[in-house]
Chains A and B, each alone.
Chain A
Amino acid sequence: MSAAWLAAAWAGMGVVAGLCPVRVRRPVALIAPLVLLALSLVTAQAGARPDELGGGGLSLPREGAGLLSAAAAALWICLLLAERLDGREMLGIGTVGGATVLLLSTGSPLLFGVAALLAVVALSLRWIDAAPGRATLATGRVAGTGAAALIAAALLLPAVSPDAQLGLLGALLVVGVLALAAVVPLGGWASGALAELSAPEIATWLLLLAPAVLLSAFSIPGKLPLLASLAFQHTILTCGLIGAVWAGIASLRAGPATRYGRVALGDLALVAAGVGTGEPSAVAGALVLILTHLVAAPILLQSPRQGLGSPRRLIWLALCGLPPSPAFWGRFLILEACVAFGSAAAPCVVAGGLVTVAAVVTVARGEPGSGAPAPHHRVVAAWVVALVVLAVGLLPMSAVHLVFGPSA
């Protein structure tokens, strides 16, 4: 199966599941992610990550297929545990997923930008439909502008002319990556949406689109001319570190309902900083952090309920950043990359420290559950997820190799 067919399968299943009659919509929505998970694994091809700026055809690497399949599994758990499942959530998951497949597998800068634009249109349409408001509209406005910047950058490549505006090229790429990954100063839209949307809707961006954009961004500096590469790396490193510190402060101030979202935004910003360093250890750290959130998010994005206190505390411990939690290894590897790149270690440590304090405070205080006690299947799922996230912490690189392939 080719990557193009996989993209069509994601989009097609999303449309079918989202638009089918009401009585079958929910069961179809619960089956579709599992089918997509299997299809993503079948489509995986050996080899390195495709070079988005270097030209070439569609080829889904093992790393991308691992991300897609892990995201499909995480989204399935989100749908399974959702307080209210309408079934139309699958419409957003499928269409954004189809565009994400193209994003991860393309070798053409133009298709990279177009895929980003399609993903943003699908995401913003779904989010505005689910919760009309300023925050969800901002998704289309800010992230759409970012996708347009990526397309504009495609027009300027390959920048071989001596008259080429290399700073402009780097700036366009930075705007695109920062806007899609919601990193400061273009990240306000995601923090607003966190408070308004249900877990499956948020997860479509947090677990699928944003990690795909950041993983793809690791390949960008390598093929740019020196000046454009430097502009890209230094800007994205600075913004990533500022974003991580800002998200750390926000996670301390946020209420229990949005604290996990702020922590996740902080880790995405750290991954963006890792993109700026361009170091191999940053890639490993990014994969560990992404995997940690793929496991933890389906539980922590849900509202706290009675009976879920202990497993949620365990999952929060996995995010606290103290060894041997998986978040510790991810943040430590990115810190190592920042040290290797230059003197950017201090903000990285501060950001990690703030998030650690937020997580430890949450663990110590607990989260008051509201409403009826959680059903048994939800409690069991929370304990299983807690054990998996602990296993990721004990064997981080084995888990990364299992999910993203041996070459990751």
Chain B
Amino acid sequence: MLVDRRRAVMVACIAVALGLSPAAAIYGGGWAAVLVLGAAAAGAGAGPLAGLVAARMPPRPGLDPVQPVEAPPEGLFGPRSARVAGAVIALIAASWVSFNVPVGSVAVVQGALFPVAFVFTCGVLRVFLARSFTDLAVGVAVIALAVGVGWVLRGGTDPLPAAAGVIAIAPLAAGLEGWLASRRRPPAPVTGP
């Protein structure tokens, strides 16, 4: 929820995957945990890999994913109070959801949905409070990982392929953000007379 700067998507992918893999392992088995951790590894690798590819392409001025779309650069890593407040709201919302909303075979009294609901709500709030494209990418990656694990928890027939399809969005978001960050070059300085 609070991670920023260039490696934000990578850090978010790893942190969320580590947090959710026990729940995935309990309800979906070993392969589900492998899937989540594999997505984290792919997310961690996709950004730098896309950056390497983009660095070989002709640079162009354009969207800097880290730069806030409408804020001065010095405000980039400014107050995160809105996000902290969002995380507190997410905590309460996830608590309510885990004890009141049944998902598939997971009974509400188990509260097993809490980590998924908390991470998902954090991702949604990160998107809703976004100031830059990196914020959107972090939110989308977090949502993808949470929904993938949620789909495993939900059960049903053969949930892993569908969960893998959703989780694949996380490395995609990381790669896109890394590619945009590396492809963009600052415009050439204007030389004065």
Check A140 against B70 for contact (C-beta < 8 Å).
no
Q: Which residue of B lies closest to A169 (CB)?
A: B101
Residues of B within 8 A of A128 (CB): 63, 69, 133
Check B69 against A163 for contact (C-beta < 8 Å).
no
Check A132 against B140 for contact (C-beta < 8 Å).
no
List CB contacts (< 8 Å) of A118-138 with chain B.
118, 121, 124-125, 128-129, 132-134, 136-137
Residues of A within 8 A of B100 (CB): 163, 165
Select the stretch in B10-18, B27-35, B143-151 that faces chain A: B143-151
Check B169 against A114 for contact (C-beta < 8 Å).
yes
Q: Which residue of B lies closest to A134 (CB)?
A: B70
Select the stretch in A144-152, A295-303, A395-403 that faces chain B: A144-152
Check A152 against B120 for contact (C-beta < 8 Å).
yes
A273-B97 Cα distance, complex, nearest whole Å: 30
List CB contacts (< 8 Å) of B122-140 with chain A.
123-124, 127-131, 133, 136, 139-140
Q: Which residue of A lies closest to B103 (CB)?
A: A155
Q: Taking the nearest CB of chain B, how far is it from the CB of A127, in angstroms?
A: 10
A134-B123 Cα distance, complex, nearest whole Å: 20
Residues of A within 8 A of B62 (CB): 129
- B101, B123, B128: the one contacting A156 at CB < 8 Å is B101
Check A132 against B154 for contact (C-beta < 8 Å).
no
Check B108 against A163 for contact (C-beta < 8 Å).
yes
Q: Which residue of A lies closest to B124 (CB)?
A: A148
A149-B133 Cα distance, complex, nearest whole Å: 20
Check A134 against B69 for contact (C-beta < 8 Å).
yes
Q: Taking the nearest CB of chain A, how far is it from the CB of B106, in angstroms?
A: 10
List CB contacts (< 8 Å) of A176-200 with chain B.
none
Q: A110-B162, A165-B100 are in contact. Are A132 and B143 (CB under 8 A)?
A: no
Check A145 against B127 for contact (C-beta < 8 Å).
yes
Residues of A within 8 A of B154 (CB): 155
Q: Is B25 an interface residue (CB 8 A)?
A: no
Residues of A within 8 A of B133 (CB): 124-125, 128, 140
Check B166 against A114 for contact (C-beta < 8 Å).
yes
Q: A136-B69, A137-B69 are in contact. Are A151 and B173 (CB under 8 A)?
A: no
Q: Taking the nearest CB of chain A, how far is it from the CB of B9, in angstroms?
A: 13
Interface centre among A111, A124, A137, A165 (most CB of B within 10 A): A137
A108-B163 Cα distance, complex, nearest whole Å: 13
Interface string of A362-380 (1 = CB under 8 A from B): 0000000000000000000
Give the A-binding residues of B (Cβ under 8 A).
62-63, 69-70, 100-103, 108, 120, 123-124, 127-131, 133, 136, 139-140, 143, 147, 150-151, 154, 162, 165-166, 169, 173, 176
